Amino acid sequence: MSSITTFPIDDTVNAWVPHGRFVIDGAPGGPLAGLRFAVKDVFDVAGHPTGAGNPTWLATHAVPQVSSALVSQLLAAGAQLAGKVITDELAFSIHGDNMHYGMPINATSPARIPGGSSSGSVAAVAAHLVDFALGTDTGGSTRVPASYCGVWGLRSTHGQLSREGLVPLHPSFDTATWFAHDADTFARVGATLLPASDFAPRGALLVEEACAEAEARFQPLLAAVAAQLDVRLAERTRRVTIAPGEALEDWRRSYVTLGAREGWLTHGDWINTHAPRFSEAITERWRAASEVTAETAEVAAQRRKSIRAQVRVLVGTDRVLIVPSAATAAPLRDAGGAEIDDIRARTLRICCIAGLAGLPQVSLPFRDAEGLPVGISLIGPVGSDLALIGLAIETWRALQA
């Protein structure tokens, strides 16, 4: 494998970080030969700095001498690495803006945000500048941008893919992920990175509370996916209430509380020592994180334990859940204030289901009646990732026919 200095991509969507313009060739003849990928700037690449979306992080961390395990695996499989792309600062957002490097352009809807925190990854894929891109998903950072930009995205089973050489955010929620702009590439990467799965789904469950959080534009597509699975699987699709007597808002608060505590334990000392500049929204999240006590976090951890058991029992070994991938289509780039806060809260109520349960979730790319990208997701049992991708692609293709 060799690194070259001439960067071959015309970055029309402002996806790449300044220190990320390099190319490393993959091994010849591997299963991913002929494919080009980029990596979110939280993955280590040997000999190249990791910035984590913040210039102070870049300046205070040594250049890694060993690549992320996933980067090494993809290079060994023959894919060509085309540098590093923008992430929201320390990956602590699902919006897609970065006060230091800007907001990448959503090529499918240029007036709208790309979503984050894997903003550069999704923008590069949606613009077809790379075939696929590594991202991460903690609270929705792959599922949401995949939905906003009309590409394939996976939140992997927690712990399924190596997080070695990856800047953490909330370690017990962080997952390594990827985007692809077409189903065949999405499946090829999955076959390379994921272990085999014997998951054989018998039925699907449409989660009513999650559907209720989403805009009306999602509802016909949710119904279409449910109807297609009704035809494909042995059991009829059922509508279910996932949290009887509770609210997804309570689940979201448990995620936010526990994640914030983990994030502060992970990065609090560095923040206090170096006083990095963050955007106003991310600054406020870190301030709130610094105030979460061990006792409060323990309560949230116990709630997660209960929620995880509850969701895993519902999914069992042979069912999938159907949910929207986000609460809305991608907001306009100039949206802000209360509107964005509301969208974030609604979206996290949906995304926290798989996050708290540690389950895999595939976002299928659709378009609504106006032509805007809209993602519909399937959530499967632990370790079902590869088979879940297969089911998602089969379902999607049937609906395109």
Active site residues: 40, 117, 141
Reduced to 3 states, what is the DSSP secondary structure of residue 209?
helix
* Helix runs in 88-215, H state only: 119-126, 143-149, 183-193, 208-213
Q: Can you spell out the DSSP letters for 221-238?
A: HHHHHHHHHHHHSSSPPE
Displacement of CA 389 from its chain's centroid (Å): 15
Q: Shortest CA distance to 252 belongs to which of 185, 352, 167, 140?
A: 352
Task: Indicate if the alpha-carbon torsion angle 352, 380, 108, 103 is positive or negative.
Answer: positive
Distance CA 379, CA 315 (A): 8
Q: How far is CA 195 from CA 153, 157, 186, 189, 372, in A?
A: 17, 11, 15, 12, 34
CA angle 58–280–147, rounded 5-degree value:
80
For residue 255, give both structure tokens. Answer: 């995620």
For residue 163, give both structure tokens. Answer: 């997080």
Given the structure tokens 């039925």, which residue do they identify? Answer: 203
- Identity at 298, one-letter amino acid code: E
Distance CA 4, CA 225 (A): 45
